[in-house]
Each structure stands twice: as structure tokens, then as C-alpha cells.
């Protein structure tokens, strides 16, 4: 019994390895065979690939709109590779941190700091 389960698991991994689709070599039909990639996305991939092949997953995620780290991980699990490599979360280049910018028309003194609570005025009448 254990041998038959082991053989089934081994066969599943072997089929997955044979089903790998390299984004740099695949036709539109092959791209669409990957779960989650439809005609619109496969067209975007092919258009981005016309200029040059994808160097790595980070390059792929950056150049193909509609593909982020989450989709890249799902496509990789479904058999998509970039330059023969499966997706690794650290393959995406680090993005610079966003800084707060002043709104147009806001005085400089208010742009960078939060306003402090206003001091309460003393009541008129001297109490």
C-alpha cells in the first residue's frame, strides 16, 4: 500500500516537471494552458516578450501589468517558469519606501508635521 501511494506521488511530481512552461519559449496556447493565464494575459506576456526575453521573475512581474507577486507564485505552482526557474518570493526587486508629500496649496509649516492642538483661550471677563 505504501509503495503504491509513493508511486502515485512520484508520478504526480514527474508530470508536473514535464508540464513546465517557460514564459520565454511558450506559444500563446502553451501560456494559456497554465491555470490562471487567459487570452488577455497571454497577449500581454507575448507583447512584453517581443522586446526581449524575461531575465527573471522580478523582470517578469515588473514588465507585465496584471502580474504581481501573488499571481507569480500561483503561476509558478501551476508550472510556469522564467528562464527555467520557479518563482521565489525574493526574486522581485525591492521597491523604495513611499514618502509623504505635501498637498498642493498646503503651507510648508503644515506639510511635514501634524498640527498641535490649539491652546484654549481664556474666557473674557477675567475669571
User: Which residue in 8, 85, 74 sits closest to 37, CA to CA?
Assistant: 74
Q: CATH second-level architecture of 21-93?
A: Orthogonal Bundle (1.10)
pLDDT of residue 91: 47
pLDDT of residue 29: 96
User: Residue-wise over 32-71: b if at least 16 C-beta within 10 A, else e?
Assistant: bbbeebeeebbebbeebbeeeebebbbbbbebbeebeeeb
Domain boundaries, the chain: 21-93
pLDDT of residue 5: 65
pLDDT of residue 25: 95
The series of mean pLDDT values per 10 residues for the chain, 127 residues long, is 59 57 96 96 96 94 94 96 90 54 62 56 63
What residues form DSSP beta bridges with 21?
80
Alpha carbon distance 90, 9 (integer Å): 28
Amino acid at each position: 500500500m505504501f509503495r503504491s501511494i509513493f508511486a502515485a506521488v512520484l508520478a504526480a511530481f514527474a508530470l508536473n516537471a514535464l508540464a513546465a512552461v517557460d514564459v520565454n519559449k511558450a506559444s500563446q496556447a502553451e501560456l494559456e494552458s497554465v491555470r490562471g493565464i487567459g487570452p488577455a494575459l497571454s497577449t500581454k506576456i507575448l507583447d512584453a516578450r517581443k522586446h526581449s526575453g524575461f531575465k527573471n521573475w522580478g523582470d517578469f512581474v515588473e514588465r507585465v501589468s496584471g502580474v504581481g507577486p501573488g499571481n507569480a507564485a500561483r503561476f509558478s505552482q501551476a508550472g510556469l517558469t522564467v528562464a527555467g526557474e520557479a518563482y521565489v518570493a525574493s526574486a522581485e526587486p525591492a521597491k523604495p519606501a513611499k514618502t509623504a508629500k505635501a498637498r498642493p496649496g498646503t503651507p510648508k509649516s503644515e506639510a511635514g508635521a501634524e498640527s498641535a492642538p490649539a491652546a484654549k483661550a481664556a474666557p473674557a471677563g477675567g475669571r
